[in-house]
Amino acid sequence: MASPASQFNADATRLVADLEHRQLIRQALAGYEKTRGTQAIRYQSWESARDRAAAVKAEAIRNLDRYLVQFEQNLVARGAKVFWANDGVEARNYVLGLARTRQAKTIVKSKTMVSEEIHLNEALEKAGFKVVESDLGEFIVQLRHEPPYHIVFPAMHLTRGQISDLFHEKLGAEPTSDPEQLTMTARRTLRQDYCRADIGITGANFAVAETGMISITENEGNARLTLGLPKTHVVLLGIEKIVPKLADLSLFLPMLATAGTGQQMTGYNSLVGGPRGPGEIDGPEEMHVVLLDNGRTRLLADPEQRDALRCIRCGACLNVCPIFRNVGGHTYGTTYQGPIGSVITPHLRGLQSWQHLSQASSLCGACTETCPVKIDLHHHLLQNRRNAVAAKRSVSQRLAFRAFAFVVNRSALFRMTSGILKALQPLQRIFNSTPADPAWPWTKSREVPVFARSSFRDLWRQRNS
C-alpha cells in the first residue's frame, strides 16, 4: 500500500491537471464566495467578533479539565450517561456494545466528523448493523462508498447529473436534474429509516459546560429527527467542543453559520440536555455522550499549537485555500482536509506519516485571515515543517546546516564563499535540470536562483563612495 505522502503526491499531480474537477470546485464555492463580503454588513465589527470568539475558545481550552467535568456533571444530573474515550477504539467499542445490548438493527446518523475520524460506520457495518447517513451530502457519499469531500459540504465534488445517476442506480429513482426532486428522493428513503431506527447518532457543534447541553446546528432538520425519534441517542463529541456559557452561543451560532455557509443563521438549531424527562411525551429514552480525546490532549500539551483546538469546523479555511481548490478534499486522505486538517492531523495521527501535509500550502495566509476564531494556521504549518525536519534530520543535513551557519556568521568568509559560488554558477547551469546535478533531488522541480551581478554590500559601498 502506498504511504500517505506518495498517495497524496500521486492524487494531487493527477487532479491539478484535471481542469473539469477544478472548475467544479470553483463553481461549488462560487455561491459561498459571494456571501463572504456580507460578513462585515451583518456584524457591526467582524474583527471584534473574531477577537471575542478567539478569547472565549482560548479560555475554554485553557480550562478544559474544569469545563469538561462541569459539562459531565450537569448532563449526568439529567439522566444522560457520559463515556470518556481515550481513542477511536474505545469510542467504537462503546457504541458497538450499546448497539449489541439494545439489539439494534438500524442506526441512523446525522453528520458527525468525529464518527468519520474513528471509522465508526465501517465497524458498525462489519458487525452487521444497518447504518444510514441522514445528512443529504453524507447520504450521497455513503451511497458512493466514499468519505466526505469537505467538512461542511461532503458531496460538493459531484454534479446533479452524477447524483441523479446514483439515485437511479441505487434507489431506482427517475433521472432528473431538478435539485428539489433529488432531495425528495432522499427524503422518501430516509423517512422510513428514521421510523425504523433503534439508535440515532449525532455529533455536536458546541458543548455548553454551564448547562450540560449540546448544541447542534444544521439546515435539513435531519439531526433533530435523528436525536428525537430513536429510543437511544448517542452523541460523539471531541473534547475541544466545549464553550463555557450558554450565552456564548449567541456569538458562536451566527458566526458558524456566517463563516461556514454564508448564512445569517442555519435553519435548525437544537439544544439537547438529556433524555426524555418525566412527563415529557417525546425524545429518546436514553442519551449517551462519548467524549473523545484521540490525540487532542497531545495537541493541548503543545503550547505553540494548542490554539488549533479552538476550531469550530466551519470549513472557511478550506474554501479559501488555493491548494484545496486545486487538489480537492479526497487527496488529503484525512478526515479533516485543508489547512486545519494539515495542522491537526500530524497531532492526531502521527507527525512522520502526515508531515507532508504541511507542504500542501503556499503559505499565502488566506486561511489565517479568514478563520473566525483566529487560528494562526499558516504559521502552524511552518512549525509542523520545522518539527518534521528536526525529527528526522540526517547527519549530512545537520552538518550542512552547521556549516551554513558557520559561514553566514562570519562576514569575510561569507563574502569569499559567495564569490566562489558565483564563479562556479556557470557550471551549475550546465548540469541544472539533469540527473547529473549533485543537487538533482532539489533542482528537478526548481531553478537555482541566479546570483545578482552586484551584491548588496557592493551596491551600498558604491552608493556611499
Site of interaction with ligand SF4 (CB under 6 A) = 259, 311-317, 340, 370-373, 375, 377
**Residue number with CB closer to ligand SF4 (42 or 231):** 42
Name every residue whose Cβ is closer than 8 Å to that of residue 46 and which is 6 or more positions away in sequence: 39, 40
Strand-pairing partners, residue 83, are 290
Tell me how many helices (H) and strands (E) the chain has.
Answer: 24, 10
**Residue number with CB closer to ligand SF4 (194 or 252):** 252
CB of 44 to ligand SF4, least distance (A): 21
**Residue number with CB closer to ligand SF4 (36 or 330):** 36
**Residue number with CB closer to ligand SF4 (197 or 318):** 318
CB of 377 to ligand SF4, least distance (A): 6
What are the angstrom distances between the C-alpha of 120 and each of 80, 94, 123, 199, 214? 21, 11, 5, 14, 20
Contact, 208 vs 251, CB < 8 A? no
Whole-angstrom distance, CA of residue 276 vs CA of residue 293: 27
Contact, 260 vs 316, CB < 8 A? yes
| Segment (H or E) for 212 | none
| Segment (H or E) for 232 | strand 232-238
Helix (H, G, I), strand (E, B) or coil at 451: coil
**Residue number with CB closer to ligand SF4 (243 or 312):** 312
Whole-angstrom distance, CA of residue 251 vs CA of residue 255: 6
**Residue number with CB closer to ligand SF4 (140 or 314):** 314
Nearest residue to 108 (alpha-carbon basis) of 185, 186, 220, 198: 198
**Residue number with CB closer to ligand SF4 (288 or 378):** 378
144 CA to centre of own chain: 21
**Residue number with CB closer to ligand SF4 (163 or 300):** 300
CB of 311 to ligand SF4, least distance (A): 3
CB of 259 to ligand SF4, least distance (A): 6
Cβ neighbour number for residue 434 with a 10 Å cutoff: 10
The C-alpha angle with vertex 152 and arms to 148 and 156, in degrees rounded to 5, equals 60
Q: What is the Rg, in whole angstroms, of the alpha carbon atoms belonging to the chain? A: 26
Beta pairing class for 232-238 and 206-208: unpaired
Instruction: Give the CA count within 13 Å in the CB-facing half-sphere of 460.
Output: 3
The C-alpha angle with vertex 217 and arms to 212 and 223, in degrees rounded to 5, equals 90
Whole-angstrom distance, CA of residue 276 vs CA of residue 228: 9
Helix (H, G, I), strand (E, B) or coil at 129: coil
129 CA to centre of own chain: 27
**Residue number with CB closer to ligand SF4 (164 or 326):** 326
Whole-angstrom distance, CA of residue 280 vs CA of residue 97: 28
CB of 464 to ligand SF4, least distance (A): 49
CB of 266 to ligand SF4, least distance (A): 15
CB of 375 to ligand SF4, least distance (A): 5
Helix (H, G, I), strand (E, B) or coil at 426: helix
CB of 381 to ligand SF4, least distance (A): 12
CB of 293 to ligand SF4, least distance (A): 19
**Residue number with CB closer to ligand SF4 (54 or 407):** 54
Contact, 105 vs 304, CB < 8 A? no
230 phi/psi in degrees, rounded to 5: -70, 160
**Residue number with CB closer to ligand SF4 (132 or 151):** 151
CB of 342 to ligand SF4, least distance (A): 10
CB of 180 to ligand SF4, least distance (A): 29
CB of 373 to ligand SF4, least distance (A): 5
The C-alpha angle with vertex 380 and arms to 379 and 382, in degrees rounded to 5, equals 65
**Residue number with CB closer to ligand SF4 (137 or 315):** 315
